[in-house]
Chains A and B, each alone.
Chain A
Amino acid sequence: QKEVEQDPGPLSVPEGAIVSLNCTYSNSAFQYFMWYRQYSRKGPELLMYTYSSGNKEDGRFTAQVDKSSKYISLFIRDSQPSDSATYLCAVPTGANSKLTFGKGITLSVRP
């Protein structure tokens, strides 16, 4: 089983929709969970992170961790065309700064 798995895409939604992006992880010892956003021809940038369990909100974005089911989610409210990008979940695994990423899901928000 892979350490981090992400729902496959792509995903296309109309502007204003609520978007739910999901990942699962295998190791219950993981404590720190991240969401990166990658625009076309750019490197990934950290969007949000959560530590342990619960929710974290930042504007239109909410990151949620359910440790009982090893499930992490990113919700985007009132989605905008500028949200069109690839979203990757990531978890620090092993030593130091090594991150293990989900494969990413490409989101397209239609005007």
Chain B
Amino acid sequence: KAGVTQTPRYLIKTRGQQVTLSCSPISGHRSVSWYQQTPGQGLQFLFEYFSETQRNKGNFPGRFSGRQFSNSRSEMNVSTLELGDSALYLCASSLGLGTTDTQYFGPGTRLTVL
């Protein structure tokens, strides 16, 4: 079974631009979560989607948004990029919403904001 895939793997943008990242979950998984990883803050939860609905949201500004499609694929968008948005963005999928459902992570998208 193919793992979680994320595209693109690397991205360079400038301040003020917007960016869209894509995540394809493991086949059959219906829950997709997004995390931001930085050296200073570590891994931080952004949001979670299940059945095309946002079920949970972390403490990030409204510039960060996401959506999930009927095939469970998900995208996240960051508008008006800031230097501090430079990070590894990780997507994780799981079968359902249970706290004990194992989350499988993709390799991430490395975003650099100049």
Is there an interface contact between B43 and A88, defined as CB atoms closer than 8 Å?
yes
Which of A45, A98, A101 interacts with B48 by CB under 8 Å?
A98
Chain A contacts to B: CB under 8 angstroms: 32, 36, 41-46, 49, 51, 88, 90, 92, 94-104
How far apart are the CA atoms of A42 and B44 in the complex, in Å? 16
Closest to B44 in A: A101
With most chain A CB atoms within 10 A of its CB, the pick from B33, B100, B101, B104 is B100
Q: How large is the interface on B (under 10, 10 to 19, 20 to 34, 35 or more residues)?
A: 20 to 34
Which of A94, A95, A97, A104 interacts with B42 by CB under 8 Å?
A104
Is there an interface contact between A101 and B90, defined as CB atoms closer than 8 Å?
no
How far apart are the CA atoms of A32 and B50 in the complex, in Å? 22
Which of B4, B56, B105, B106 interacts with A98 by CB under 8 Å?
B56
Q: Which residues does chain A contribute within 8 Å of B55, judged by CB atoms?
A: 95-96
